[in-house]
Amino acid sequence: MSTYASTRPAPYPSRAAHAHRNFIVQQGFAEPAAATCERQYSSLLFQPRLIAFTLVAAATLEAPFVFFAFGVVLWWSALLPRLNPFDALYNWALAPSSGVTLSMAPAPRRFSQFLGGSLALAIEASRTAGLRTTGLVLEVVLLAGVGAVVFVGFCTGSWVFHVLRGRVDLAMRTVPWATVDRIPVAPPYHRHDIPAR
């Protein structure tokens, strides 16, 4: 259930649990129940973890076509969220054991996918055009962004979305290191949740 109260005591048992809750809200989903927060957080990290593994392999093997493929898939996921292949793979392979099914991504998560896809396509275009240094810089930016999601629980794309929408207060209160005693305001554009089975 979404809450529009500005502050109240955190119902989460630890700072890490609160940071995971912040990530879920930052992605545009409704306030998670404390009992299911960790499973929801883990399910939302499936896509970034898969992307991080593949992008590190592509950068190591210097395979620019992988960046092009990921750019297209991420744009596809942003533009047609009901047909997101990452969510479909998770729901098929892991949802039965986790008890969490991924639903259509809200606007902040889709915006982040669009930004990631744009960076991946720009990397491939730079490499194809012979702009190796530009491609390398963009690879570092993309890998840093994906790394921030995977290791810290901070999504730069979703954070930028909130800022561009004029919701700087929400953006600042959903960073992982936000104080535990503050609960962010749920975004008014939220229409979907991650239903627990």
**How many helices (H) and strands (E) would you count in the chain?**
10, 0
Q: Which residues contact 61 (CB under 8 A, 6 or more apart)?
A: none
Structure tokens at 38: 């960790």
Per-residue pLDDT of the chain (197 residues; tens, 9 = 90+): 333 333 444 466 677 888 899 999 999 998 888 888 899 999 999 999 999 998 888 888 877 788 899 999 999 999 999 999 999 999 999 999 988 999 999 999 999 999 999 999 999 999 889 999 999 999 999 999 999 999 999 999 999 999 999 999 989 988 888 865 444 445 555 444 454 44
Q: What is the CA 33 to chain-centroid distance, rounded? A: 19
Q: pTM for the complete prediction?
A: 0.82
Nearest to 47 by CA among 117, 124, 99, 127: 117
* Single-letter amino acid, residue 79: L
